[in-house]
């Protein structure tokens, strides 16, 4: 018998918010920060090795977000569950919202789901996460700020046999206020390779979160990707978060960023 609720006592929460009262004109969020799977779903039919790979979460990005939230004094909203349970950066009608296969790895626990199964994942994981992002933005607007929106992700260093050279990738579509100066300032740092809409593009409308929370509201926004091998250990997290901290305060203090 299918339980009325997916999440049960003892399961972690679907979302956490770091530094909710942060005063910077910035809202950070991580769609793929966590790798938890509700106990009711077991292991989704995956090995422990597969569940630790990039297909399940954005390795290292929660730790980067924690440093940025603290040092920039900004709120950061983190999704708690694996993207394999439901992808918080996909529209609910997107076929990859609950992936049956990821990077050629089948996900048996996502096959043959009923409408009720899918609805429970959306109602108990996807919607609470996005409600928390909305609340963080609304709090800024209520305080008279026009916040910048920064979506944080990480990417696997090799895909389909291609060694990706970028340290940072900045994804964007039509609004250049945040991404273009962000790329320019990162590129000025020594030994930093920055990708413009690499290793993915922000122009194919495949993602959801930046569009819903930034573009649709007219807020300055960007999605940043950091290569996972750079931030898989604490020393790398500190190093590459530190590079962002060299450029973000100056950008956030520029009135041009927050113009209508």
Per residue in 166-192, pLDDT (tens digit) is: 999 999 999 999 999 999 999 999 999
Helices (H) and strands (E) in the chain, counts: 7, 11
The domain in which residue 73 lies consists of 15-252
Residue 146 lies in a domain: yes
Within-domain flag for 166: yes
118-164: pLDDT as tens digits: 999 999 999 999 999 999 999 999 999 999 999 999 999 987 778 99
Does any domain span residue 235? Answer: yes
More confident of the two residues 134 and 103: 134
Strands 194-196 and 168-171: parallel
At 162, which CATH number? 3.40.630.40
- How many residues make up the chain in this entry? 260
8, part of any domain: no
Cα dist. 38→43, 110, 122, 147 in Å? 9, 13, 13, 33
Q: Is the residue at 68 inside a domain?
A: yes
Return phi, psi of residue 156, to 5°: -70, 140
In a domain, 192, yes or no: yes
Query: What is the Cα–Cα distance from 129 to 88, expressed in whole angstroms?
Result: 8
Provide the token pair at 170.
């900045």
Residue 205 clears pLDDT 90, i.e. is over it: no
What's the structural domain count of the chain?
Answer: 1
Structural domain includes residue 50: yes
In a domain, 3, yes or no: no
186 neighbors 247 (Cβ within 8 angstroms): yes
Q: Which alpha helices (DSSP H) does 48-176 contain, by range?
A: 48-51, 61-72, 115-121, 127-142
């Amino acid at each position: 018998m299918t339980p009325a609720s997916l999440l049960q006592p003892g399961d972690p929460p679907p979302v956490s918010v770091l530094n909710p009262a942060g005063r910077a004109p910035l809202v950070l969020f991580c769609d793929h920060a966590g790798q938890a799977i509700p106990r009711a779903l077991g292991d989704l039919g995956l090995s422990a090795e597969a569940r630790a790979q990039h297909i399940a979460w954005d390795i290292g990005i929660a730790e980067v977000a924690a440093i940025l939230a603290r040092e920039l004094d900004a709120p950061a909203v983190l999704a708690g569950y694996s993207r394999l349970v439901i992808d918080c950066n996909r529209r609910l009608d997107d076929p990859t919202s609950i992936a049956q296969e990821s990077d050629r790895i089948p996900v048996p626990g996502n096959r043959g789901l009923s409408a009720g199964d899918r609805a429970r994942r959306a109602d108990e994981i996807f919607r609470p996460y996005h409600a928390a992002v909305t609340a963080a933005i609304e709090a800024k607007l209520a305080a008279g700020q026009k916040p910048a929106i920064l979506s944080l992700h990480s990417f696997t260093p090799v895909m389909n046999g291609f060694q990706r050279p970028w340290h940072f990738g900045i994804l964007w579509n039509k609004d250049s206020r945040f991404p273009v100066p962000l790329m320019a300032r990162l590129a000025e740092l020594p030994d930093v390779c920055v990708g413009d809409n690499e290793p993915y593009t922000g122009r194919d409308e495949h993602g959801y979160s930046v569009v819903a929370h930034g573009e649709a509201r007219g807020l300055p926004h960007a999605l940043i990707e950091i290569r996972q091998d750079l931030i898989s250990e604490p020393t790398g997290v500190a190093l590459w978060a530190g590079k962002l901290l060299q450029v973000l305060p100056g950008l956030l203090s520029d009135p041009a960023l927050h113009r209508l």
